[in-house]
Amino acid sequence: MHLSKGELNGHTFLAKLITQYAFIHRKTIGPAAEEYIQQLGIRTGEWIESFYDNPPHWTVEQYVHVIVDLKNSIGGHFEVVSVNPDHVVVRAKRCPFGEAVHDAPHLCRMTSSVFGGIAARNFGYGKVTLRKRLAVGDPNCEIAIYFQPDDREEGDVYENIPVTPENGNPFAWEEETITMLNYELKKSDEMVINLLQELEDLKAELKRVKS
């Protein structure tokens, strides 16, 4: 008997799991959560580059091919809108996180930092403007990436991005970063424990009132 109301698969499960974790993380530490997402996106983008032929000097066409292909490879539906010497524009009809991204719209910072980090490492500069976002109710995502300073629109700027030495690991986090992350995760755990205790206290109070 088929009882599922929707498609349940590994991708859907992981998307929901990640967005719920991101939601709790942001509730716990506030806007600083976006900085964690940004750092993770920068490093993830460098790791993703290793899956592609990495020429010494990228062309704009090679760049836009990579960013669209990588998003579509992980469940998104991205397409190229325009390609110019100084910037490109891409559009998405579906986010890799699916509908779950509405639970944690700050995960859009992941797209920004992946695209911007790749641009900065290969062109020396990247500015990412999230013009439209599915995560906040827009009908699609529209993203512009600039390869040189430009004041036509605001965006997240990426430059002077360090490149991991050859045969190195972009996910080899510095000790101070790990220490800070552990501290924030500890705060998350304490919040969950406090919430559970509040629920237990509330249940006890309801029992007392009924009796």
- The C-alpha atoms of residue 60 and residue 84 are separated, in whole angstroms, by 8
The pLDDT of residue 71 is 94
The pLDDT of residue 150 is 87
Asked if residues 66 and 119 have their Cβ atoms less than 8 Å apart, the reply is no
pTM value?
0.75
3 state DSSP class of 80: strand
The pLDDT of residue 22 is 79
The pLDDT of residue 175 is 64
Residue 144 sits at φ, ψ, to 5 deg, of -110, 135
Asked if residues 103 and 86 have their Cβ atoms less than 8 Å apart, the reply is no
Average pLDDT along the chain, 211 residues, taken 10 residues at a time: 60 78 78 81 90 86 95 94 97 92 90 95 96 96 96 93 79 65 60 73 77 69
- The C-alpha atoms of residue 147 and residue 57 are separated, in whole angstroms, by 14
- What is the residue-wise DSSP string for 120-159? HHHHSEEEEEEEE-GGGT-SSEEEEEESS---SS--EEEE
